[in-house]
């Protein structure tokens, strides 16, 4: 299957919705990305100055990436990878170009604006992760960046939740992405007994409350989670 890239046209969105455009990469992930970039650049016979001119950015920006002090906007990863003659998934995940079993698919990364789905960009999922997580029907899956403070069942701020948008069954307690009409939130939800699934009990960032289902629409059930530096499934 054709390889998909991480992001598409995210910079224009970033100015308007800066929180939604790229997930957080921790220090370890930044360092690993920087080492792979430096090695690939040197193997391509390019200096930092040459790469910066090719990308129309400053040389110091390239230097900061390679030192692991920061990382590029994710929509630029394909341009960088093309310039240094490697794949985007190699720079991001260390996936070797020569391993045909580690190809990727992509799903939309979304935010919710005024209650409507807004596709910010797309996120790459290695196929071995898709297989391990048991993900099927990728057309109904969406990725959502977690903005909640604190940690919820091992999911923390900056992680990416993979959501099945067709599973909104609250008859039993589960982890869901919820839409508060400003931004998406992660929480647990369960129908209030005797309410015929019209009211639900929700816990978000330690606060528990009851409300009608239509007051806090459910985006979908969380079926997997990932980080840029560590991919895992629930």
Predicted confidence band of residue 25 (pLDDT cuts 50, 70, 90): low
Per-residue pLDDT, 221:
92
Contact partners, residue 154, CB within 8 Å, separation at least 6: 225
DSSP structural state of residue 7 = -
Nearest CA to 184 out of 114, 111, 109 is that of: 111
State pLDDT tens for residues 87-131: 887 887 777 654 444 456 778 888 766 667 777 777 777 777 788
pLDDT tens, residue by residue, 198-228: 899 998 877 899 999 888 888 899 998 876 5
Q: Name 95's Cβ contacts closer than 8 Å, sequence gap at least 6.
A: 87, 89, 102, 104, 126
What is the rounded average pLDDT of the residues 57-84?
Answer: 86
Q: What is the pLDDT of residue 67?
A: 93
Q: What is the pLDDT of residue 20?
A: 33
Q: How confident is the model at residue 30 (pLDDT cuts 50, 70, 90)?
A: confident
The two structure tokens encoding residue 197: 């699934």
β-strand partners of 176: 187, 221
DSSP 8-state symbol, 60 = H
**What is residue 135's three-state secondary structure?**
coil
pLDDT higher than 60, residue 7: no
For residue 76, the model assigns a pLDDT of: 80
Q: Which of 187, 16, 222 is nearest to 118 (CA)?
A: 16
Q: What global pTM score does this model have?
A: 0.56
Burial class from Cβ neighbours inside 10 Å (0-12, 13-18, 19+) for residue 113 reads middle
Measure the CA angle with vertex 97, ends 227 and 143; round to 5°: 30
Residue-wise pLDDT tens digits, 140-196: 998 888 877 767 777 777 788 899 999 999 998 899 988 877 777 888 899 999 888
Distances (CA, A) of 88 to 95, 187, 207: 9, 32, 40
Percent of the chain with pLDDT over 70: 78
Would you state the pLDDT for residue 192? 92
The 10 Å Cβ neighbour count of residue 164 is 20
| Residue 101 confidence (pLDDT) | 42
Instruction: Give just the sign of the alpha carbon dihedral 63, 74, 21, 189.
Output: negative
Residue 11 has pLDDT above 80, yes or no: no
């Amino acid at each position: 299957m054709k390889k998909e890239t991480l992001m598409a046209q995210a910079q224009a969105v970033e100015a308007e919705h800066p929180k939604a455009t790229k997930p957080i990469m921790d220090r370890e992930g930044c360092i690993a990305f920087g080492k792979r970039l430096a090695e690939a650049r040197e193997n391509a016979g390019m200096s930092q100055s040459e790469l910066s001119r090719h990308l129309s950015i400053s040389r110091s920006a390239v230097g900061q990436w390679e030192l692991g002090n920061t990382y590029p906007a994710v929509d630029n990863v394909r341009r960088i990878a093309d310039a240094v003659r490697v794949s985007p998934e190699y720079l991001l995940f260390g996936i070797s170009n020569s391993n045909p079993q580690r190809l990727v698919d992509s799903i939309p990364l979304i935010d919710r604006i005024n209650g409507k789905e807004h596709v910010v960009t797309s996120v790459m999922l290695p196929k071995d992760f898709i297989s391990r997580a048991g993900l099927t029907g990728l057309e109904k899956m969406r990725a959502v960046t977690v903005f909640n403070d604190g940690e919820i069942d091992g999911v923390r701020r900056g992680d990416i939740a993979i959501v099945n948008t067709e599973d909104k069954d609250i008859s039993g307690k589960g982890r869901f992405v919820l839409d508060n009409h400003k931004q998406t939130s992660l929480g647990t939800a369960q129908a209030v007994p005797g309410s015929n699934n019209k009211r639900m009990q929700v816990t978000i960032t330690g606060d528990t409350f009851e409300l009608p289902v239509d007051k806090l629409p459910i985006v979908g059930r969380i079926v997997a989670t990932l980080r840029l530096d560590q991919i895992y499934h629930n």
